[in-house]
């Protein structure tokens, strides 16, 4: 049973490999200049939902993470947009149907709003780009692709103009190493590349649920690239997760602390981002996300 639980790993587990904190070169000078949170973050903090006690099988049940304060975030080396690096790219690999292509475009739109940075979709490439040595047949006859090969042999060398982050999306199942059954995805934060698979996210899921899962996974992994560690403060898209069931329980929203961290590096307009997210969720009938944005907007309007 323990082995089965171990194998129910989603893309978020990949963040363990890059967890060593490296001091920011400006850490000492920055730490002296840390100011109290802006009113925006204080106002929306009321809507943060504290995490309950983890149940058996949950991410935090077996992992005693210490969390990351704002001060720790500031002192940790992380990606900051520049004129030379400011575009988030998605690279589809495989043969996608019209519904899947629509989801990829919606993920692009969402990431552009979520991070307030330009996001683009690169040209779709065939699964033939992956050699037979990096493919296998899975336990139920499905073709699987070696996630690590995609990171190191395809994405790492691909550097489109002004790339700050690059995430591949596949329609095939993934596996991380021969002894594992599967993985939802994998990432290398030092190389600023990641890959995620639609295969299991869309099984027994309608269009909306499949989209929500993709939005969570893509924003979570790219959030790590911008220095956000797993959140243990509140129900947050940066929570770690052990299974798709746990993923579905987590919110699309960044908690107030994680929003403050992200905003400190990207320097976007908080209210503009919130209104754009509200519009996105409304247009795509994502009712849970819409309700969360409306609650945050209400707190701001009441001040």
**In contact, 77 and 232? CB cutoff 8 Å:** no
Note the pLDDT tens digit of each residue in 53-80: 888 877 778 888 889 999 999 998 888 9
**If you average pLDDT over every residue of the chain, what do you get?**
88
- pLDDT attached to residue 32: 46
Which helix (H) or strand (E) covers residue 151, if one does? none
Listed in order, the ranges of the chain carrying CATH 3.40.390.10 are 79-226
Whole-model pTM above 0.85?
yes
Residue that has been written with the tokens 């296998």 in this structure: 136
Q: Is 123 a catalytic residue?
A: no
Residue that has been written with the tokens 């639980």 in this structure: 5
Choosing from 157, 158, 171, 221, which is the catalytic residue? 221
Helix, strand, coil distribution of the chain in percent, nearest 5: 45, 15, 40
Q: What percent of the chain has pLDDT over 70?
A: 88
**Dihedrals φ, ψ of 23, to 5°?**
-65, 135
Note the pLDDT tens digit of each residue in 165-223: 999 999 999 999 999 888 888 888 889 999 999 999 988 899 999 999 999 999 998 99
Distance, in Å, from the CA atom of 225 to the CA atom of 165, rounded to the nearest integer, reads 7
Mention the CATH class of domain 79-226: alpha beta
Task: Name the band, by pLDDT with cuts 50, 70 and 90, for residue 303.
Answer: low
Phi-psi map region of 260: left, alpha, beta (phi>0 left; psi -120 to 50 alpha): alpha
């Amino acid at each position: 049973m323990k082995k089965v639980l171990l194998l129910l790993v989603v893309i978020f587990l990949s963040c363990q490999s890059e967890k060593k904190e490296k001091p920011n070169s400006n850490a000492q000078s920055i730490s002296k200049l840390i100011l109290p949170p802006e009113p925006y973050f204080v106002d929306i903090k009321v809507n943060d939902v504290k995490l309950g006690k983890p149940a058996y099988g949950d991410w935090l049940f077996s992992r005693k993470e210490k969390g990351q304060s704002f001060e720790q975030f500031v002192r940790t080396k992380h990606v900051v947009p520049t004129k030379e690096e400011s575009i988030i790219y998605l690279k589809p690999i495989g043969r996608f149907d019209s519904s899947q292509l629509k989801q990829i475009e919606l993920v692009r739109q969402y990431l552009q709003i979520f991070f307030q940075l330009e996001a683009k979709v690169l040209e779709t490439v065939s699964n033939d780009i992956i050699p037979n040595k990096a493919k296998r047949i899975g336990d139920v006859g499905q073709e699987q692709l070696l996630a690590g090969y995609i990171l190191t042999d395809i994405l790492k060398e691909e550097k489109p103009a002004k790339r700050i982050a690059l995430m591949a999306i596949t329609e095939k199942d993934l596996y991380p190493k021969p002894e594992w059954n599967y993985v939802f995805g994998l990432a290398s934060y030092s190389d600023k590349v990641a890959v995620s698979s639609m295969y299991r996210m869309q099984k027994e899921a309608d269009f909306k649920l499949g989209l929500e899962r993709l939005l969570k996974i893509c924003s979570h992994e790219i959030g790590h690239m911008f220095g956000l560690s797993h959140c243990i403060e509140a129900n947050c898209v940066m929570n770690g997760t052990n299974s798709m069931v746990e993923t579905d329980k987590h919110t699309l929203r960044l908690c107030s602390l994680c929003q403050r961290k992200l905003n400190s590096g990207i320097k976007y307009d908080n209210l503009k981002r919130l209104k754009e997210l509200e519009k996105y969720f409304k247009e795509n009938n994502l009712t849970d996300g819409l309700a969360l944005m409306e609650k945050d907007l209400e707190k701001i309007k009441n001040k």
